[in-house]
């Protein structure tokens, strides 16, 4: 767990969120657990397109990501979650996501966006660009 995530963990353990937050140490267990997540968070200073982010998306889990790299580009609108720039914004948006009542609509929006990231679809889009050039 990185330095920043450790701060979020300490904060969550000092609030009423303690019982609702689960902090993974090993990614080996992620595929089994991801469908039970209320929210998937990715708090990074630098990030490409994270495999765990795409896995969470295919599972339909609402997203809360740092406003860096591809992660912030993936979360295009608030129908799927949020991209945040600081700890205060993170806390505010996390509370919003945990209180969402229509989580099926949120899950559907996340899954639909995940389909845009499928390798075959990306390859077809690149081929189309090359054909137009």
This prediction's pTM: 0.67
Sign of CA dihedral 112, 54, 69, 23: positive
Host domain of residue 19:
3-132
Instruction: Give how many domains the chain has, as a whole number.
Output: 1
Of the listed ranges 1-5, 12-16, 42-46, 65-69, the one predicted with least confidence: 1-5
Which 8-state DSSP code applies to residue 68?
S
pLDDT tens by residue, 95-133:
999 888 778 888 888 888 888 777 777 788 788 888 887
Give one DSSP letter per residue of 86-126, joined into a string: SHHHHHHHHHHHHT-S-HHHHHHHHHHHHHTT-HHHHHHHH
The Cα 104–Cα 102 span in angstroms is: 5
pLDDT tens by residue, 34-81:
888 888 888 887 777 777 888 888 888 999 988 887 777 788 778 888
Kindly report the CATH number assigned to the domain that includes residue 115. Answer: 3.40.50.2000
Give residue 29's pLDDT band: very low, low, confident or very high (50, 70, 90): low
Which residue reads 């689960």 in tokens? 22
| Structural contact between residues 53 and 63, judged by C-beta atoms closer than 8 angstroms | yes
């Amino acid at each position: 767990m990185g330095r920043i995530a450790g701060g979020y963990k300490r904060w969550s353990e000092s609030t009423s969120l303690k019982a609702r937050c689960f902090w993974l140490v090993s990614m080996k267990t992620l595929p089994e657990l991801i469908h039970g997540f209320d929210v998937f968070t990715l708090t990074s200073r630098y990030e490409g397109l994270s495999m765990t982010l795409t896995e969470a998306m295919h599972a339909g889990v609402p997203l809360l990501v740092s406003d860096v790299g591809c992660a912030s580009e993936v979360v295009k609108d608030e129908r799927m979650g949020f991209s945040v720039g600081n700890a205060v914004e993170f806390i505010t948006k996390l509370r919003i996501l945990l209180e969402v009542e229509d989580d099926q609509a949120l899950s559907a929006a996340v899954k639909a966006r995940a389909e845009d990231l499928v390798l075959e679809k990306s390859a077809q889009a690149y081929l189309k660009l090359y054909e137009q050039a």
